[in-house]
């Protein structure tokens, strides 16, 4: 419920891509680093647990727009929990990852969402719930419907992936990118409406000042 840090908009400079910060969060070993590695480098290999945080960037084109993701891959192990929230601040998007073969990681995802909410205003951030490791279908403990239901109850986007098979990985990031750009367009249009109201209501500075 806290709104400690309002998420800043992307730093869009003429001719430059929009820059969006995205954090990967979730329990240890759910596949956060593997998703980032598959997306950024098209690679899947055995990775050591993340210590603190790893950082990746990737530029993507969505329609006529160009967008740069700054991807912060946080450590899921419990011992790093206290530092992870530092990376949430100022984020524009979050992938809330769980492992479909581990019910505990699904329950923890709900806790991670609460942690995120302490640092950002959820309405300002595009959050996608991601059920990873769908290739391990024999060991599945969380159904697609359970994931979808939880995501809908919290107004989150939702997808299932396999970082190992590169299934739905780029689709996850594309869906987030599209939502971010759509929000940008809506925000870019919004000030015109505000300005029209301000003209009718008095000095601009005062109207803006007192709106908060």
Beta strands in the chain (DSSP E): 18-25, 53-62, 65-74, 93-99, 126-132, 157-160
**How far is 212 from 207, CA to CA, in rounded Å?**
9
Q: Which is nearer to ligand GTP, 67 or 127 (CB)?
A: 127
Q: Which is nearer to ligand GTP, 67 or 163 (CB)?
A: 163
**How far is 123 from 61, CA to CA, in rounded Å?**
25
* Residue 2, phi then psi, degrees to nearest 5: -65, 150
Residue nearest to ligand GTP (CB): 76
The count of other CB atoms within 10 Å of the CB of residue 165 is: 13
Q: Which is nearer to ligand GTP, 100 or 177 (CB)?
A: 100
Q: In angstroms, what is the minimal distance from the CB of 177 to ligand GTP?
A: 21
Pairing of strands 157-160, 126-132: parallel
Q: In angstroms, what is the minimal distance from the CB of 205 to ligand GTP?
A: 46
The phi-psi region of residue 155 (left if phi > 0; otherwise alpha if psi is between -120 and 50; otherwise beta) is left
Inter-residue contact 69 to 60 (CB < 8 Å): yes
Q: Which is nearer to ligand GTP, 136 or 181 (CB)?
A: 136
The token duo for 176 is: 């987030």
Q: In angstroms, what is the minimal distance from the CB of 44 to ligand GTP?
A: 7
Q: In angstroms, what is the minimal distance from the CB of 52 to ligand GTP?
A: 10
Q: In angstroms, what is the minimal distance from the CB of 45 to ligand GTP?
A: 7
What residues line the site for ligand GTP (CB under 6 A)?
A: 28-34, 46-47, 49-50, 75-77, 132-133, 135-136, 162-164
Q: Which is nearer to ligand GTP, 50 or 91 (CB)?
A: 50
Q: In angstroms, what is the minimal distance from the CB of 80 to ligand GTP?
A: 8
**How far is 210 from 68, CA to CA, in rounded Å?**
34
Q: Which is nearer to ligand GTP, 21 or 133 (CB)?
A: 133
């Amino acid at each position: 419920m806290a709104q400690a840090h309002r998420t800043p908009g992307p730093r869009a400079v003429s001719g430059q891509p929009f820059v969006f910060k995205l954090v990967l969060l979730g329990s240890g070993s759910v596949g956060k680093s593997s998703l980032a590695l598959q997306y950024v480098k098209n690679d899947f290999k055995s990775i050591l647990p993340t210590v603190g945080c790893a950082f990746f960037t990737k530029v993507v084109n969505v329609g006529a727009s160009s967008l740069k993701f700054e991807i912060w891959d946080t450590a899921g192990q419990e011992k790093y929990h206290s530092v992870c929230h530092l990376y949430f601040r100022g984020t524009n998007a979050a992938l809330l990852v769980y492992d479909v073969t581990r019910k505990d990681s699904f329950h923890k995802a709900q806790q991670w969402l609460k942690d995120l909410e302490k640092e950002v205003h959820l309405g300002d951030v595009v959050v996608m719930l991601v059920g990873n490791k769908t290739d391990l279908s024999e060991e599945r403990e969380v159904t697609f419907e359970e994931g979808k239901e939880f995501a809908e109850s919290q107004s989150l986007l939702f997808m299932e992936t396999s970082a190992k098979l590169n299934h739905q990985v780029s689709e996850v990031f594309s869906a987030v990118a599209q939502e971010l750009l759509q929000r940008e367009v809506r925000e870019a249009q919004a000030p015109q409406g505000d300005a029209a109201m301000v003209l009718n209501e008095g000095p601009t500075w005062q109207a803006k000042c007192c709106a908060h």
